[in-house]
Structure 1
Amino acid sequence: MLYFSRWKTVLIWTVVLAGLILSLPNAFTQSQLDSLPDWLPKKQLALGLDLEGGSRMRLQVDKEHLPDTDATVAVLTRRLSELGYANPHVVTERNGRVLIEVPGLYDSQLLKDILSLTGELSFRMVDSSVPVQQAIDGTPPEGDEVVYSFDDPPVAYLVKKEPLVTNENFVDAQAGIDTATQQPVITFHLDSVGADRFSKATKAGIGQSFAIVLDNQVLSAPVIQEAIPGNTGQIAGNFDLSGASNLALVMRAGSLPASVTVIEERTVGTDLGAASVSYGKIAALVGAALVILFMLLTYGLLGVIASIALVVNVILILAVLTLFGAPLTLAGVAGIVLTIGMAVDSNVLIYERIREDRRAGFSVIQAIDSGFARALATIVDANVTTLIAALVLFTLGSGPVHGFALTVTIGIVTTLFTTFTLTRLLVSVWVQRSKPKEVPGALLKLVPYNTKIAFMKLRSLTLGFSALSSIAAIALFLIIGMNFGIDFKGGTMVEMQSSEGAIDLDDVYSRLDELNIGDVKIERFKSDDRALITVGSQGEGEDAEQTVGVKIRGEFQDEYNLPRVDVIGPSVSSELSQAGILAVGLCLVLIFAYVWFRFEWHFALGAILATIHDVLLLLLMFIVFKMEFNLWSIAALLAIVGYSLNDTVVIYDRVRENLRKYGSNVSLSSILDASINQTLSRTILTSLATFLALIVLYLYGGDDVRSFALTIGVGIIVATYSSIFVAGPLLMLFGLKGRDVMDEQHPAPITDESRI
């Protein structure tokens, strides 16, 4: 395991160097990169909207016009281009969904207005031969229809169905101010066909009116004073300059082939995004520093090697994200910080094996070689279970969940690479050059190597406690339920900030009450000058949810900064909740199948039941403390599913090893106690290293990240407890026998030398 051929050594350092080169541009500013030669790599990390600021909207194309989705996307892209976004992120999703992400957005409400407007504009002659009320009460003349204006109250017009000109005839449109009336107008240009039809109609219809109809509503109905020759004209209507500009933009970009509805909006101000970047950097750097310090104190020189591998690990994660242009989100930063904490687990497993074999009488070189070899299967099993959870999360997740799963998935792959290539190579170089006589010692020893705790004597008590806790969680879930956030029940959340001191919550509540938007919750947020408004679902469809956001913006945007606005419609919230349940269920099924494949059914069932126990206890925490359950919570739950299985698999792997070694000559309870004691040092050290990273996340992350870190922190405690006091006793409960997993080795009693 310690021999490396020349080509392997060159390949390892080539990968490390490539990662360093690809990630290095992220250490420079854009102006510094511009001054460098063009042949150098200059591509930087793409930042997600929560770090860069911007808006992410999901639109639903009218179900009856799903075949027109590709054409609708083209028009939406042209409109975004007209707004000044040359390379917007527009993705077509299943069932007529369109995802649009616009970084650095300055007006999300304007974006919604522009994108959701169908934009069917036409000029139609007004039919004055029949009173409009007569047409309303009876049947309109053939070829006519009644159309109402945008006014409040609306005015009815009897117009011809056949238009004079339509969107297809407009070649340009610009908003401006009429010099005579000082009112906003739109100056338009028609193509030759439209100009000819419009000229003939106005010449024949002097003294009559024609209606300017937008999305089946009348903007205005001017009287034709004289024939309008040429291809240029003006539209005056009931709109301000901003409205005129929006309409002109829509006229230039064209109408949508199918109507669309905004079903989800998540907007983050650029200032909030910049603050998140700053906090994310602090969290990553401080978290890495604490973990490195911990490894140095715990493993000495081997800790130095592990720290070098950890730094390279992070560099490789950043390099992969940079290479493929995958955006780094705040949840992605949380994933990197968590990976930093969990990545040391592989080194801990190897180093503890090395120490164990050295105490068993192996030479230093033999102990190091066998330590890497014997830890291989355990590390692969532990990381595969975590990888399954991350891949399920990546496939079914959305928003922050997706970003978290992406970095964790990449982190698992880079961790396996650095552990079994770079770490092993560095250890090999150290052994060859230093020819050590002893395994490096440690300044900090947290767990004695010869613990003999009788864990199985407590199994009746611990299994009883776990069973009652799990039943209580299920009962409280059915009786009280969860405090679901708007991700899963729909609604609106708006963060507001005052630049003139503390926010008067009573005044805010009073003004919100006048908006008649239903159930409203207002609370202080981080400081007295910030508040969080949460509005429950309107229960009246997608448009009703979007109207709430419009009303709140209209009421407060002139006085307060609104750095974050989330609006989740009922269809999206329903899908998110279903996807969350499916993700947890599918994750457990896949991991059950993998553990059964690698072990026996006793181990698979024990691991899954222990993990379900962990999930139930975390849900119990959410219920008792009324913590909001959102997408971040799903990410935390599945992270703990992976962590819990990781912890349990490490112990089960040692149980299987001891069963094969000692067989039926030793009681199962003794084997379980020995296995847990032998891996106790690894369990505690890994948990502490991960805790150090989580503490930094909790201190420097935003509110969502803080809740995420708290959930995982509690989950680690629960997972550590269950892997020792639940997973082990379950094997006895299922009647596992030594002969089920014995090999042909001669049985022998467990001795003190076999313990860590």
Structure 2
Amino acid sequence: MRTSKWAALAYVAITLFGILAVLPNFLSSETQQRYSAFLPVKPVTLGLDLRGGSHLVLEVDAAGLRRARLNTLLDDVRGVLRGERVPVSSARIAGDTIQIKIADQADRDKVLPKIQELAVPAGALGFGTASADTEVTTADDTITIKQTEAGLSERMTAAVDQSLEIIRRRVDQVGVAEPLIQRVGSDRILVQLPGLQDPTRLRQLLGSTAQMSFHMLDQTVDVTQPAPRGVDILPGANDGNRYPVESRIAISGERLADAKAGFNQQTNEPIVSFTFDAQGARQFAEITRDNVGRPFAIVLDGKVLTAPVIREPIVGGQGQISGNFTAQEATVLSALLRSGALPAPLTIIEERSVGPNLGSDSIRMGIYTGLAGFIAVCVMMLSLYTTWGVVAILGLILHTILTVAVLAMLGSTLTLPGIAGIILGIGMAVDANILINARIREETAGGAGAMKALDVGFGKAFATIVDGNVTTLVGTVLLFMFGTGPVRGFAITMMIGIIISMFTSITVVRALMHELVIRQKLKKIEIHSIIGKVPSIPTFSFMRGRFVAIGMSAFLSISSVILFFHPGLNYGIDFVGGIQVEATSKQPLQLASIRSKLEDLNLGEVALQDFDQGKAVLVRVQRQEGGEAQQTVALNAIKAAVAEAIPDATFERTEVVGPTISAELARSGFLAVGLAMLAILIYIWWRFEWHFAVGAIVTLLLDITKMIGFFALTGIDFNLTAIAAVLTLIGYSVNDKVVVYDRMRENLRKYKTMPFSDLIDLSINQVIMRCIFTSVAILASLVPMAIWGGDPVKPFAWPMVFGVVVATTSSIYIGGPILLFLSRWWKDRETARAPGAEVAKS
């Protein structure tokens, strides 16, 4: 029980560092800058759901990338055939390959080496090895060109990196402060834009193909007249002019290798130098040689960036663009040239936006519900343990400070579900204190002195705390691995909270309790509650009513399964995809008028849900047929119809989720639940015995089915937040069972001749008060969240309230009977397999 001076100094240092790390969150930006040298970390970054903004996930179209490369190869092949005087009609695209049918052997021998030269080494793209991106084979009179998987992978990597540059340039055009743009996986890009509530313009910009190309201008065409065939009239990107651009691409932007801004050494005017790859250099040399004196247009996204005049043939694959632009414009143009050659479309597969009012309301509700939950837990601890409860409260305060400090150190983004995770973490951190105080009470009741009661109490509680927290961590780790966005933020705060609660409870609280005993020279630790002395261990016979308990549990679980199929779960937009818009008004809304306006749009089934005393409405529409352009049109039409029905409408939140992301979210969510149960089964099997593990999983399945039934019965959105609730229930439920099982294991060593049914009753009676107190503490932290936490956390809070009640009752009434049945079944099986049983049977 002794704490060394070095350990005490470490505890003090950790506490002071935690306070310093939390302090910036309560200081103004000016004060933070003034004392930045003394503050170890920056404030916790608020998520978009707390400060407002837009969240988009874009995907590079792999099929489009493949098609674009095939088309480029086909043009190059036809160029080779023309050079060798072979009919170009002999080359065509067949599926994912290019086939060139040449009957004459001599022509094939001339063409084949030059076709093989068309392959681009993967190293030329800046990634991987120098292996070619195409494979050329011959069979009879046919030459076949096929793209290699390595080449496609390298092109995808290059395309994503090029897309990042394009997006950064375009986001800068929108003028968003502190944007987050990063690669996610092999083919996706995440864009988060704080403060941008209407991403329509950005959606249109980012969703376009963004292909760079070089064209000749047809100076014989009058731009004021309709364009003839083969010519497109395109607007200028910056000068407002219109240009007659030949439709045929002279050089694809894919051939551009590099571009740099600089100055002309003679005139000192800003210029942009560019370089083509080998194939592009040959094409550029031919074009400039044949078109001296003609304008050469550089086109990006259907707009002419610049149209310089070719002054002389350029044979080295390098050129300069000069014009009336500033040094900054030259830098921008070079960046666009470097990053503009995106050979495939960008598809926005997920979009979410939150208004600033909703964000500030979420912060306020998060603070209020957090304070209410914390105060409720503190009142409970004071009521149960008086003076010793104050020690537990100090541990909870330190737990909260260190949780926020670690979030700031890690640079994590705090979301509303993250706040929910902190609040729930406080409730679950109480469990360790309840276990410790309960053990100390038992040792004191057995006649132990103050120091022995502390020592033995902490020692016996330690294993239970570790087992319970590890099983809870399993669920949160899997939630982090398979979750996304705010759900992952919830998992991070839960993981940090669980680990820190072990530190504060086992080290800091122990040191404080030890110091209190020394200071007050206590001979015996008396832990009283406000209501008086805690009653002795009850003697209920839970096993006597086991058949009734299991029958009731089975009935509720079977009913929940039926509810799952009919009426079924109200799947949220995360799982089914679609468009969701939340609008508010200062006046009560007329849903009939809104529904009439929306049904006139013919967008399919429209679901309306009013809340906030009828002053807010949630509109949900199925995903529209077609691509992302159709989703943008539908979203704008919905907003216009709602604005027409509600003149003072404020759009607080919009979400657009595509089928790709919804299917992946559903798959990853259910996979996380399955893996969590498997990991818990393995851990309990390892720490206890097989029938303990199987009993825990069976009881857990009964708990989960009841929670699914709750979702089906209440109609609460079943989304990623709901998956977080299910995984949290798994962790808490198993934590509860582990406490009961740990006491059973201890009693099995102590009472070796006691009938197992009596031992189960004794064990449950010994921990029943702990189960009830812990559940009450967690409910105290959850109920304010459920009532005032707002729409984003209700799919988590209310099911968790129900789940905590179910998990507690199953730990008391269901887990023991199932364990008893498995134990008796195994003993009967072993008896039947014994040699004596075989003799008697024969």
* TM bucket, shorter chain: 0.7 to 0.9
In structure 2, list runs of 5 or more residues that go unmatched: 66-154, 222-226, 236-243, 262-269, 276-284, 310-320, 326-331, 829-842
Among candidates 422, 433, 436, match of residue 336 of structure 1: 422
Tell me which of 157, 164, 172 is aligned to 1:67.
157
Say whether residues 1:439 and 2:526 are aligned partners: yes
Query: SS where residue 414 of structure 2 aligns?
Result: coil
Secondary structure of the 1:57 match is strand
**Aligned counterparts of 1:98 and 1:584: Cα–Cα separation in 2:** 27
Cα offset for 1:551? 2.9
CA contact (8 A) 2:54 2:198 kept: no
* 2:786 alignment partner, SS class: helix
CA distance in 2, matches of 1:447, 1:484: 46
Match of 1:498 in 2: 585
Give the match for residue 482 of structure 1.
Answer: 569
Q: Which residue of 2 aligns with 1:237?
A: none
Q: State the Cα distance separating 1:440 from its structure 2 match.
A: 3.1
Q: Is the 8 A contact 2:576 2:659 kept in 1?
A: yes
3-state SS of paired residue (2:610)? strand
Classify the secondary structure of the residue corresponding to 2:797. helix
User: How far is 1:41 from its partner?
Assistant: 3.8
Q: Tell me, what secondary structure is at the counterpart of 1:735?
A: helix
Tell me which residue corresponds to 2:500: 414
Query: Offset of 1:27 from its aligned partner?
Result: 1.8
Structure 1's 249 and 171: CA in aligned 2 closer, same or farther, altered over 3 A?
Answer: closer
Alignment of 1:191-590 (within 5 A): 191=272, 215=301, 231-232=322-323, 254=340, 256-436=342-522, 437-444=524-531, 448-499=535-586, 501-538=587-624, 540=626, 543-556=629-642, 559=647, 560-590=649-679
333-342 vs 71-80, which moves further: 71-80
Going from structure 1 to structure 2, the CA distance change for 1:270 and 1:73 (only over 3 Å counts) comes to same
State the distance in 2 between where 1:736 and 1:127 align. Answer: 92
Distance change >3 Å, CA 573–CA 542, structure 1 → 2 = farther
* Contact 2:272–2:333 (Cα < 8 Å) also in 1: no
Question: Could you say if the C-alpha distance between residues 262 and 732 of structure 1 is closer, same or farther in structure 2, counting changes exceeding 3 Å?
Answer: same
Matched residue, 1:709: 797
The residue matched to 1:99 in structure 2 has which SS?
strand
- 1:102 is matched with 193
Residue of structure 1 equivalent to 2:167: 76
Question: Given the superposition, is the C-alpha separation of residues 603 and 72 from structure 1 closer, same or farther in structure 2, using an over 3 Å criterion?
Answer: same
SS at match of 2:618: strand
* Amino acid of the structure 2 residue aligned with 1:627: I
Quote the offset at 1:67 in angstroms.
2.8
Aligned to 1:636: 725
Q: Answer yes or no: is the 8 Å Cα contact 2:479–2:488 preserved in 1.
A: yes
User: 1:308 Cα deviation (Å)?
Assistant: 0.1
Counterpart-to-counterpart distance in 1, 2:432 and 2:12 = 20
Cα RMSD after superposing both structures: 3.8
1:655 to 730, 741, 744: 744
Q: Which residue of 1 aligns with 2:30?
A: 31
Per-residue displacement from partner, 1:613-653 (whole Å, max 9, x unpaired)? 10000001111222221111101111110010010010011
Deviation string for 1:444-494 (max 9, x for gaps)? 369733311111111111112222322332233234432101110111110
Q: Contact (CA 8 Å) 2:179, 2:191: kept in 1 or not?
A: yes
1:598 aligns to 2:687 (yes or no): yes
2:809 maps to which of 706, 718, 721: 721
Amino acid at match of 1:695: V
CA distance in 2, matches of 1:128, 1:514: 48
Asked if the contact 2:260/2:274 (under 8 Å) is kept, the reply is no
Structure 2 counterpart SS, 1:679: helix
**What displacement does 1:122 show?**
5.4
Q: CA deviation at 1:252?
A: 10
Deviations 1:546-585 (A, max 9, x none): 4432332455569532111111100000000001110000
How far has the Cα of 1:106 moved from its partner? 4.6
Q: Is the 8 A contact 2:57 2:191 kept in 1?
A: yes
Aligned residue number for residue 159 of structure 1: 247
Aligned residue number for residue 750 of structure 1: none
How far 1:728 moved relative to its partner? 0.5
Kept in 2: contact 1:392–1:586 (CA 8 A): yes
Deviation at 1:736, TM superposition (A): 5.2
The offset of 1:76, in angstroms, is 1.6
Which residue in the other structure is 1:21 paired with?
A: 20
Deviation at 1:341, TM superposition (A): 0.9
Q: Is the 8 A contact 1:124 1:163 kept in 2?
A: yes
CA shift, 1:422, in A, is 0.3
Distance 1:452 1:165, change over 3 A: closer
CA distance in 2, matches of 1:733, 1:263: 50
For residue 788 of structure 2, the aligned residue among 700, 712, 721 is: 700
**Whole-angstrom distance in 2 between the partners of 1:446 and 1:713:** 29
Distance (whole Å) between structure 1 residues aligned to residue 699 and residue 592 of structure 2: 48
Which residue of 2 is the match for residue 666 of structure 1? 754
Counterpart of 2:572 in structure 1: which amino acid? Answer: G
Q: In 2, Cα distance between the equivalents of 1:384 and 1:252?
A: 50
For residue 7 of structure 1, report the CA deviation from its aligned partner: 1.2
User: How many percent identity over aligned positions?
Assistant: 38
Task: Give the paired residue count.
Answer: 685
**Aligned CA distance change for structure 1 residues 452 and 539 (closer, same or farther; 3 Å):** farther
Q: CA shift at 1:504, angstroms?
A: 3.5
Q: 1:627 aligns with which of 716, 737, 741?
A: 716
**TM-score, normalising length from structure 2?**
0.75
Q: SS at 1:265's partner residue?
A: strand
Provide closer, same or farther for how the CA distance between residues 9 and 570 of structure 1 changes in structure 2, counting only shifts above 3 A: same
Q: From the superposition, tell whether residues 164 and 523 of structure 1 become closer, same or farther in structure 2 (CA, over 3 Å).
A: closer
- Residue 300 of structure 1 aligns to a residue whose secondary structure is helix
Distance 1:158 1:46, change over 3 A: closer
Q: Is the 8 A contact 2:478 2:676 kept in 1?
A: yes
What is the identity, as a one-letter code, of the residue corresponding to 2:26?
A
Q: 1:598 to 1:92 in 2, by over 3 A?
A: same
Name the residue aligned to 1:735.
823
Q: Is the 8 A contact 2:162 2:341 kept in 1?
A: no
Post-superposition Cα deviations, 1:51-105, rounded to whole Å, max 9, x if no partner, equal 1111111000121352321222122223223433464322212240111112122
User: How far apart are 1:356 and its partner, in Å?
Assistant: 1.0
Q: How far apart, CA to CA, are the structure 2 residues paired with 1:59 and 1:231?
A: 34
Q: Please tell me the residue identity of whatever aligns with 2:722.
A: S
Displacement of 1:710: 0.6
Matched letter for residue 157 of structure 2: P
Deviates more, 1:356-365 or 1:341-350: 356-365
The one-letter code matched in structure 1 to 2:422 is I
Cα offset, 1:127, TM superposition: 7.3
- Which segments of 5 or more consecutive residues in structure 1 lack a partner in the other structure? 131-135, 151-155, 173-188, 225-229, 235-245, 741-756
> Cα offset for 1:327?
0.8
Larger Rg: 2
Partners of 1:738 and 1:218 lie apart in 2 by 77
Report the alpha carbon displacement of residue 267 of structure 1 after superposing the two structures with TM: 0.7
Counterpart for residue 148 of structure 2:
none
User: 2: distance between equivalents of 1:191 and 1:429?
Assistant: 73
Structure 1 residues 316 and 128, CA gap change in structure 2 (3 angstroms) = closer
Residue equivalent to 1:684: 772
Q: Cα offset for 1:118?
A: 2.8
| Contact 2:24-2:39 at 8 Å conserved across structures | no
Instruction: In structure 2, give the amino acid aligned to 1:92.
Output: R
Question: Residue deviations 1:17-48, cap 9 Å, x none?
Answer: 11111111212121232343634446111111
Structure 2 counterpart SS, 1:647: helix
